[in-house]
């Protein structure tokens, strides 16, 4: 199930007037030129260009049989944009002399639709879809996307959304006719989402406990005796206990490239209900050693059956992006600490580190980005649903004892807001 690549040659080539790796949005106008540099004389020729957009999925299942195993493939295809964008750039004779320095050229201008074709519902009657098919007019075009399963399981899946220009040059000479085709992939951004200027936070609470003689006044740096270590190992009631509560307040929605730091508030408060009376008045220092932030992407796909298995098939695969926060904590000049005597305290780690999520990395202020896989926003289209969650891990140290906690929260990743106008026109030397 290959994606469309850029193709063409001297006989036909598409040139788009945009900077390299430019990302379009629905409603943009794509400006460019179709060229032919091959010598030709033909009394009749037609040059067309069409913008295509499609969603494709593939589910591969390996099944054991009495004679070994067999592999079945289930494929789904949804045409989002197609023949309705077709333009005839030239119809008539063509002539390019051998050795000519000026190629044949045909400029074009195609506006990317904002919604799928009206005929999509009719073309897909009876198909299973993540979106209802009775209101196609309300759907927006999804952005360019690609995902594939990792690993060697018996069931795998692959999915993509792609957009590309296709130009066809047809001509006749004598009793024969010939044609050449060129393609040019386009990157399309997912529709921008409106989010609240006041971040919506979700809360997760941990109750943590430390038990050690080093909690006692004057024992912080003392070496424990064998007896003390034995009491600590068996959780003797003679060993003081310190309890504390950590609240994690994290964002429900993160916008890629939003310059406002991602909110990540950690709130500390002592838990006097389980703290030993002998250390109730002893100040304890609680150090936040690091936070690990692992973004998990889950892609669910569906595909229709084939002649041997007509049922609709589904599969989900996941990938993880370790965003490198422990490394950033390791380079802090001043550690993040809480003091039990001060009662409830909080720190906004996102603001402290100036955390901003980019499509390929998490940036902390002016610190270099930590490279990783491309992060695609959440979206849902007819046969693909892409979602995210974050696994958080925290390491705290109190009196030389560590507490490590882990939790997972859901999060919605939304596209960046593009403030740029249409890509600038520019001249290319031929």
pLDDT at 329: 87
Long-range residue pairs from 129-137, CB within 8 A, at least 24 positions apart, any chain: 129/302, 129/382, 129/383, 130/300, 130/302, 130/380, 130/381, 130/382, 130/383, 130/384, 130/385, 131/380, 131/381, 131/382, 133/382
pTM, two decimal places: 0.87
Nearest to 30 by CA among 113, 140, 137: 113
Over residues 172-186, the mean pLDDT reads: 91
Give the span between the Cα atoms of 351 and 261, in whole angstroms.
Answer: 5
pLDDT at 332: 85
Residue 327: pLDDT above 90? Answer: no
Give the span between the Cα atoms of 28 and 241, in whole angstroms.
Answer: 63
Q: Which DSSP category does 11 fall into? A: T
Nearest to 131 by CA among 313, 310, 384: 384
Better pLDDT: 328 or 190: 190
Residue 60 dihedral angles phi and psi, to the nearest 5° = -115, 125
pLDDT at 426: 44
Q: Out of 78-82, 133-137, 407-411, which region has the weakest mean confidence (pLDDT)? A: 133-137
Partnered with residue 348 across adjacent β-strands are 265
CB proximity list for 135: less than 8 A, separation 6 or greater = none
Q: Are strands 264-270 and 345-348 parallel, antiparallel or unpaired?
A: antiparallel
Better pLDDT: 387 or 177: 387
SS3 content of the chain, % helix, strand, coil (to 5): 10, 50, 40
Domain with CATH 2.60.40 in the chain: 13-188
47-56, 129-138, 274-283: range with highest mean pLDDT: 47-56
Q: Name the average pLDDT for the chain.
A: 89
pLDDT at 331: 80
Nearest to 112 by CA among 79, 145, 81: 81
pLDDT at 246: 97
Range 13-188 has CATH code 3.40.1350: no
Give the span between the Cα atoms of 416 and 258, in whole angstroms.
Answer: 7
Per DSSP, helices labelled H in 156-257 are: 226-233
Give the span between the Cα atoms of 245 and 247, in whole angstroms.
Answer: 7
Q: Which conformational region is residue 59 in: left (phi greater than 0), alpha (psi within -120 to 50 degrees), or beta?
A: beta
Over residues 124-135, the mean pLDDT reads: 83
Confidence band for 125, pLDDT divided at 50, 70 and 90? low
Confidence band for 308, pLDDT divided at 50, 70 and 90? low
Q: Out of 76-90, 230-244, 285-299, 333-347, which region has the weakest mean confidence (pLDDT)? A: 230-244
Residue 80: pLDDT above 80? Answer: yes
Better pLDDT: 316 or 214: 316
Give the span between the Cα atoms of 389 and 200, in whole angstroms.
Answer: 15
Asked if 30 and 49 count as a contact pair (C-beta separation under 8 A), the reply is no
CB proximity list for 64: less than 8 A, separation 6 or greater = none
């Amino acid at each position: 199930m290959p994606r469309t690549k850029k193709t063409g040659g001297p006989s036909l080539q598409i040139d788009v007037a945009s900077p390299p790796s430019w990302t379009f949005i629905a409603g943009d106008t794509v400006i460019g030129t179709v060229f032919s540099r091959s010598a030709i004389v033909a009394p009749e020729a037609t040059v067309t260009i069409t913008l295509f957009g499609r969603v494709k999925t593939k589910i591969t299942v390996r099944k054991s049989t009495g004679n070994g195993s067999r592999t079945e493939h289930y494929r789904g295809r949804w045409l989002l944009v197609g023949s309705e964008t077709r333009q005839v750039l030239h119809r008539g004779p063509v002539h390019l002399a051998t050795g000519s320095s000026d190629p044949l050229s045909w400029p074009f201008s195609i506006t990317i639709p904002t919604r799928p074709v009206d005929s999509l519902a009719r073309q897909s009657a009876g198909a299973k879809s993540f979106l209802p098919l009775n209101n196609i007019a309300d759907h927006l075009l999804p952005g360019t996307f690609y995902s594939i399963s990792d690993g060697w399981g018996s069931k795998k899946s692959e999915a993509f959304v792609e957009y590309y220009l296709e130009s066809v040059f047809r001509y006749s000479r004598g009793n024969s006719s010939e044609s050449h085709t060129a393609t040019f992939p386009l990157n399309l951004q997912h529709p921008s989402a409106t989010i609240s200027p006041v971040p919506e936070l979700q809360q997760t609470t941990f109750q943590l406990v430390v038990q050690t003689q080093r909690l006692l006044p004057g024992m912080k740096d003392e070496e424990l005796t064998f007896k003390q270590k034995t009491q600590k190992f068996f959780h003797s009631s003679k060993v003081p206990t310190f309890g504390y509560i950590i609240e994690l307040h994290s964002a429900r929605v993160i916008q890629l490239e939003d310059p406002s730091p991602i909110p990540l508030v950690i709130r500390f408060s002592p838990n006097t209900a389980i703290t030993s009376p002998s250390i109730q008045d002893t100040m304890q220092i609680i150090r936040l050693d690091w936070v690990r932030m692992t973004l998990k992407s889950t892609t669910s796909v569906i595909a229709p059956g084939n002649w041997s298995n007509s049922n609709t098939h589904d599969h989900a695969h996941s990938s993880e992006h370790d965003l490198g926060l422990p490394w950033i904590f390791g380079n802090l000049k001043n550690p993040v600490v809480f003091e039990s005597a001060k009662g409830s305290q909080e720190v906004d780690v996102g603001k402290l580190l100036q955390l901003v999520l980019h499509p390929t990395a998490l940036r902390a202020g002016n610190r270099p980005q930590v490279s990783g896989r491309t992060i695609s926003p959440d979206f849902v289209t007819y046969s693909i649903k892409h979602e995210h969650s974050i696994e958080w891990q925290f390491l705290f140290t109190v009196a030389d004892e560590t507490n490590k906690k882990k939790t997972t929260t859901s999060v919605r990743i939304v596209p960046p807001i593009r403030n740029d106008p249409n890509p600038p026109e520019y001249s290319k030397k031929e």
